[in-house]
Structure 1
Amino acid sequence: MKKLIQTLALGVTALGTSLSGVSAEEWRLNNFLPETRPETAEIEQFVKDVNATVEGDFELKLYSGGSLGLPNTDTLRFLPKGAVEMSLMWANYLGRDAPALSSVVVQGTIGSIDEFEKAIPAVQEIYEEEFTDWDVTSVGYVAIPMLSVSVFCRDEPVRTIEDLKSKKLRVWARDQVETFTRLGVAAQIIPQEEMYVAMKTGVVDCALYPALYAHTVSLQEVASHASFLYPMASGPYVIGVATERWEETDEAIKSAITTAADDLWNRTNQYEDDQAREMEAREKLAEQGVTWAEDFSDADRELFVSSVTETWAMLAEEAGGNAPAYRERVLKALGR
């Protein structure tokens, strides 16, 4: 299946060919995150560190915000084909081609930093194994903050699951669709670059989004109300290189990349200030016109977590292959 998908990706291969008119010493790093995201600033520093270390004509260049036109859902198709030399990847976006990846960490199942720190080594190990099967080598990681996910609504506050049942909700991943469907809520996946218009035009009434990043997509301009629903830990972003290219790369360049990647991970794998940053983000959004309602109740959050847990088991079974075993490995790491 993997080989068939890669072979059929003719459009992506053509794009890779059109982009290949660069020096052999220049590597492009595809970053689908917007330039305004704090993770992008950290990736920019990673690029600077690599270039400062490598001697000679090699240069790593960063392209952020999807500027290369490479869909993040297609990474396992375009990266092994050489459309770019290096790319940021997020497992939850890759479930179409690698279903097992999307069920390694289902968002909402890990609700504390302590639990997340227990799970991280197992998650990284699983990612490396799975990406290897797709001829991609994981050369670095970018940690994602422990996020607080809120329900942002256009016209009126929503702070109960019962009230949410009468709204159209924007989400960003299939596991969220499944989770909210179990709760009787109509949820649909809308990419973040389309979310602003979807909210403004009423395609959806509410959007699931972290307050910490809301300003990066101008969500405060189309949402008047917000209420915190659940804490979310996610598997880290992965920096990948086609395995064949990585194996052929000069050892000095590989060393510079892995050293800079270690520093990148150490900088981002910090969670002490996450809650303070969350509250600061809420205050700024309030100054810009977002009214914060009371949080969803503990009973509603427990109901949500129960639904997420059922979704995780279902997705792992549905994906088949290694997915159930991956889930068990994460559960074991969590001590559950």
Structure 2
Amino acid sequence: MKKLFRNLAVGLTGFGISMSSVTADEWRFNNFLPETRPESTELEQFVAEANEALGGEVSLKLYSGGSLGLPNTDTLRFLPKGAVEMSLMWANYLGRDAPALSSVVVQGTIGSIEEFEKAIPTVREIYEEEFADWGVSSVGYVAIPMLSVSVFCRDEAVRTIDALKSKKLRVWARDQVETFTRLGVAAQIIPQEEMYVALKTGVVDCALYPALYAHTVSLQEVAQYASFLYPMASGPYVIGVSTDRWDATDDTIKQALTSAADDLWDRTNQYEDDFERELAARENLVEGGVTWGEDFSQADRDLFVSSVTETWKMLAEEAGGNAPAYRERVLKALGR
């Protein structure tokens, strides 16, 4: 399947990109995250540092918020073909083409910073191996904070899994669909950029989302109530470049890019202040009109974790190939 996708002829204009408008020394960096996200600010600094080191020989230009029209789920199709020179990638968005990637870290299975720090080196190794098989070189990483995921609802406070069973819930990845389905909750994947309208128009009643980022999508305007459900560690975002392009790139350019990428990782791979920032984000949402309710009970959270654990095993077995071995490597790193 990987070879098939690499050999497919991709019509670049179909992705909304005109190659004639790109200069030979410009590397377009596709960032699917909104400009308002903290990670986008970090990526802007990465680009600035890299460009300073490159001295004009090559220049990076960051395109955020999906402005290039490249679906994040299609990265393994457009990046090896050169639709852009560089792109941010998140493994959990790529499960359609690379099922093994989406089962490396299933969200909700790692619930503490201490556990996550044990797993990160192994997760990075797995990503490098898997992306290489798709013709993509992993040249940098952006750590994702240890997030607190909450249930935001439009018209009614929901603080129990039983109450959630009568609601339509927005999620962002298949593992969440499977986990909530096990719990009897109707969940559907709705992209981040469509979530606001989906809540406003009643397509869904509630949305799963981290409070830390809620303001970046104006969630407080369409959700009146929120309650914390579970902590979530995620594998890092990966900065990818076509392996063919990377192999053909001058070593001095590679060094400038990897040095800036190392600085980016060092800046973002910090978790000490995550909970304080979470609490501050909740306070800001309350000021914006959100009623912050009691957390889901420990019993409900334990039930959720049990469902996630079953989902992780199921997805790895279903994906086949390297997926079960990847899961075992992560479990070993966690000491389980």
- 1:202-231 CA distances to partner (integer Å, 9 max, x unpaired)? 110000000000000000000000000000
Partner in structure 1 of residue 230 of structure 2: 230
SS in 2 for 1:83: coil
Partner in structure 1 of residue 245 of structure 2: 245
Partner in structure 2 of residue 105 of structure 1: 105
- 1:51-83 CA distances to partner (integer Å, 9 max, x unpaired)? 011134311110000000000000000000000
TM-score (norm: length of structure 2): 0.98
Contact 1:20 1:83 in 2 (8 A): no
Contact 1:26 1:60 in 2 (8 A): yes
CA distance in 2, matches of 1:334, 1:135: 29
Is 1:142 matched with 2:146?
no
Contact 2:151 2:228 in 1 (8 A): yes
Structure 1 segment 1-336 matched on structure 2, within 5 A: 1-8=1-8, 10-12=10-12, 15=15, 18-336=18-336
**Residue 13 of structure 1, CA deviation:** 6.9
CA distance in 2, matches of 1:319, 1:17: 32
Equivalenced residue count is 336
Supply the AA of the counterpart residue of 1:123: V
Q: What stretches of structure 2 of length at least 5 have no aligned partner? A: none
Q: What stretches of structure 1 of length at least 5 have no aligned partner? A: none
- 1:122-159 CA distances to partner (integer Å, 9 max, x unpaired)? 00000000000001000000000000000000001000
SS in 2 for 1:10: coil
**Residue 84 of structure 1, CA deviation:** 0.4
CA distance in 2, matches of 1:242, 1:13: 18
CA 1:15–1:159: 2 relative to 1, 3 Å: closer
CA distance in 2, matches of 1:135, 1:20: 24
CA distance in 1, matches of 2:9, 2:328: 33
- 1:166-221 CA distances to partner (integer Å, 9 max, x unpaired)? 00000000000000000000000000100001000111000000000000000000
Supply the AA of the counterpart residue of 1:42: E
CA 1:228–1:49: 2 relative to 1, 3 Å: same
Supply the AA of the counterpart residue of 2:18: S
Contact 2:79 2:85 in 1 (8 A): yes
CA distance in 1, matches of 2:16, 2:53: 27
- More deviation in 54-63 or 84-93? 54-63
Supply the AA of the counterpart residue of 1:251: D
SS in 2 for 1:178: helix
CA distance in 2, matches of 1:15, 1:191: 18
CA distance in 1, matches of 2:335, 2:275: 25
Root mean square deviation of aligned Cα: 1.2
Supply the AA of the counterpart residue of 1:60: L
Contact 1:16 1:82 in 2 (8 A): no
**Residue 20 of structure 1, CA deviation:** 5.0
Contact 2:170 2:204 in 1 (8 A): yes
CA distance in 2, matches of 1:13, 1:233: 36
